[in-house]
Amino acid sequence: MPQGAAAAAGEPLDEAMRALVEPRRRAILRLVANQELAAGEIAAAFEVTRTGVSQHLTVLKNAGLLSERRDGTRRLYRARPEGLAELRQFLDQMWVSSLEVARRLVEADGAVPSGDRGAEDGGRRAPGAD
pLDDT tens, 22-61? Answer: 999 999 999 999 999 999 999 999 998 999 999 999 999 9
At 127, the pLDDT band (50, 70, 90 cuts) reads: low
Nearest-10 Cα torsion for 67, 71, 74, 76: -20
Q: Is 118 left (phi over 0), alpha (psi -120 to 50) or beta?
A: left
pTM over 0.75: no
pLDDT band at residue 103 using 50, 70 and 90 as cut-offs: confident
